[in-house]
């Protein structure tokens, strides 16, 4: 266990060494959220609410969705692809830890760094600039905290799955990009899922993506309260468990047919 905590710590410190460029990052994220703010205001165009969200709730939703993204987002799929392509993975596999576990912990170290040095200060700046609604309810904050941890796991598991496919496809930059685009759309980062037409919502209910962005953001904006929030968390937890299966299966097959392409 200690070695995994050490992984988190090392990755955190690594990120800390490069922290300066995160300050510009906060600025750019703020502009990004600001532009969304105006876009959504134009979309609302005087309407008091759309699909149960008021304009202020919508701004909060967008801001929280992007700031939460800084926490759950990581590039471990790309890192895995490079390590597999360069043959470094062979060395990783004989080391005394689980490779996938280690990657997850590195992602977590990155996420914790971004949460404290990026999301929190970014959120403060954005909240000063644009009208937003923060809940005073401790339960909402508690649910939100659990929810973004679960988002992290779902997103990371999907990244691990994409990373593992490098063993079979040898070169999967296209797949990695496709996955990112799909997650942005289906997770509710760009648009709350409740805005989609009914048939699309029905379809998306059976996918793990909404657990990444939609559920935590809805909890934070009080779009989900009480039993709805608990249901959301349950759904996320179920997906975390389900996703373990394909990862383990693919991992076992992958290790058997490992081809080192050089290095």
Partner 1 sequence: MFYISMFFQYVAQYMKTRLEYRADLIVEIFSDLLFQAVNLIFILVVFDHTEFLNGWSRDEIIFIYGFFLVPFALFSSFFNIWDFNERYIVKGELDRILTRPIHSLFQIILERMELESLFGAVTGLAVMFYAGSRLGLEVSWTDPLLFVVFVLGGVLVYAGIFVMIACISFWADARTSIMPMMYNIGNYGRYPVDIYNNVIRFVLTWILPFAFVGVYPAAYFLGRDEWYGYSFLTPVIGLVFFSLSVFIWNEGVKRYRGAGN
Near partner 1 in 31-60, by CB under 8 A = 31-32, 34-35, 38-39, 41-45, 47, 50-51
CA dihedral 175, 177, 190, 140 (to 10 degrees): 80
Q: Is 134 in the site for partner 1 (CB under 8 A)?
A: no
Structure tokens at 251: 């991992």
In the complex, what is the shortest distance from the CB of residue 146 to partner 1, in angstroms, rounded to a whole number? 28
Q: Is 242 in the site for partner 1 (CB under 8 A)?
A: no
Q: Round to whole Å and give the CA distance between 242 and 40.
A: 35
In the complex, what is the shortest distance from the CB of residue 177 to partner 1, in angstroms, rounded to a whole number? 4
In the complex, what is the shortest distance from the CB of residue 42 to partner 1, in angstroms, rounded to a whole number? 4
Residue 136 neighbours by CB distance under 10 Å: 6
Evaluate whether 219 touches 240 at the Cβ level (below 8 Å).
Answer: no
Beta-bridge partners for 49: 54
Residue 30's nearest CA partner among 149, 133, 125 is 125
Each residue 197-216 as x (binds partner 1 by CB under 8 A) or -, in order, gives x-------------------
Which residue, 134 or 195, has its beta carbon nearer to partner 1?
A: 195
CA dihedral 41, 45, 48, 53 (to 10 degrees): -40
Q: Round to whole Å and give the CA distance between 54 and 36.
A: 15
Q: Round to whole Å and give the CA distance between 219 and 65.
A: 11
In the complex, what is the shortest distance from the CB of residue 175 to partner 1, in angstroms, rounded to a whole number? 5
Q: Round to whole Å and give the CA distance between 182 and 194.
A: 17
Which residue, 130 or 239, has its beta carbon nearer to partner 1?
A: 130
Considering only 169, 207, 230, 238, the residue that binds partner 1 (CB under 8 A) is 169
Considering only 93, 139, 178, 242, the residue that binds partner 1 (CB under 8 A) is 178
Q: Is 184 in the site for partner 1 (CB under 8 A)?
A: yes
Residue 254 neighbours by CB distance under 10 Å: 17
Considering only 98, 173, 228, 248, the residue that binds partner 1 (CB under 8 A) is 173
> What is the DSSP-derived secondary structure letter of residue 247?
H
Which residue, 24 or 227, has its beta carbon nearer to partner 1?
A: 24
Each residue 71-90 as x (binds partner 1 by CB under 8 A) or -, in order, gives --------------------
- Contacting residues toward partner 1, per CB under 8 A: 18, 20-22, 24-25, 28-29, 31-32, 34-35, 38-39, 41-45, 47, 50-51, 169-175, 177-178, 181-182, 184-185, 190-191, 195-197
């Amino acid at each position: 266990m200690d070695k995994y905590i050490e992984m988190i710590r090392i990755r955190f410190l690594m990120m800390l060494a490069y922290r300066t460029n995160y300050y510009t990052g906060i600025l750019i994220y703020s502009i990004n959220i600001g532009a969304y703010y105006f876009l959504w205001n134009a979309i609302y165009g005087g309407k008091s609410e759309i699909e149960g969200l008021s304009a202020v709730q919508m701004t909060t939703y967008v801001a929280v969705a992007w700031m939460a993204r800084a926490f759950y987002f990581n590039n471990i799929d790309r890192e895995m692809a490079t390590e597999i392509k360069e043959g470094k993975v062979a060395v990783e596999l004989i080391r005394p830890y689980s490779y996938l576990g280690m990657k997850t912990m590195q992602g977590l170290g990155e996420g914790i760094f971004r949460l404290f040095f990026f999301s929190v200060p970014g959120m403060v700046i954005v909240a000063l600039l644009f009208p937003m609604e923060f809940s005073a309810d401790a339960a909402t904050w508690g649910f939100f905290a659990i929810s973004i941890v679960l988002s992290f796991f779902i997103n990371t598991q999907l990244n691990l799955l994409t990373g593992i496919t490098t063993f079979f496809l040898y070169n999967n930059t296209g797949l990695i990009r496709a996955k990112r685009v799909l997650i942005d759309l289906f997770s509710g980062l760009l648009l709350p899922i409740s805005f989609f037409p009914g048939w699309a919502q029905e379809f998306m209910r059976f996918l793990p993506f909404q657990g990444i962005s939609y559920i935590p953001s809805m909890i934070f904006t009080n779009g989900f309260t009480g039993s709805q929030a608990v249901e959301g968390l349950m759904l996320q937890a179920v997906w975390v468990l389900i996703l373990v299966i394909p990862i383990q299966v693919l991992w076992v097959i992958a290790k058997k047919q490992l081809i080192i392409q050089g290095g």
